[in-house]
């Protein structure tokens, strides 16, 4: 069985929710809701770059976000 969703970015993705997997440019998951939640709660390093959730079989981007607070000096999550 292959993963159905890919959380990806052109820059390393960081979040304590990845359970010690460390920074990576993509993660593969089977559940759409979980993929979207993990993407929404993650950031890129350096901050401010896009994170996408892609449905692997079709290539459709089902979620995307850019850290809007990047560059404003705010460290609040």
pLDDT at position 77 is: 39
* CA distance linking residue 75 with residue 5, whole number of Å: 29
- As a whole-number percent, the residues of the chain with pLDDT over 70 amount to 81
pTM over 0.85: no
Contact 50/65 with Cβ under 8 angstroms?
yes
The more confidently predicted of residues 2 and 61 is: 61
Of 13-22, 30-39, 52-61, the one with minimum mean pLDDT is 13-22
* Runs of H (alpha helix) within the chain: 32-40
List the end-to-end C-alpha distance of the chain, in Å, as a whole number: 35
Q: Quick one: average pLDDT of 28-38?
A: 94
Averaged confidence pLDDT in the chain:
84
Contact 29/18 with Cβ under 8 angstroms?
no
């Amino acid at each position: 069985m292959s993963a159905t969703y890919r959380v990806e970015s052109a820059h390393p993705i960081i979040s304590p929710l990845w359970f010690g997997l460390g920074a990576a440019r993509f993660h593969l998951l089977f559940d759409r809701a979980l993929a979207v939640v993990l993407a929404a709660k993650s950031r890129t390093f350096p901050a401010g770059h896009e994170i996408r959730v892609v449905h692997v079989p079709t290539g459709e981007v089902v979620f995307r976000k850019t850290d809007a607070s990047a560059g404003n000096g705010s460290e609040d999550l």
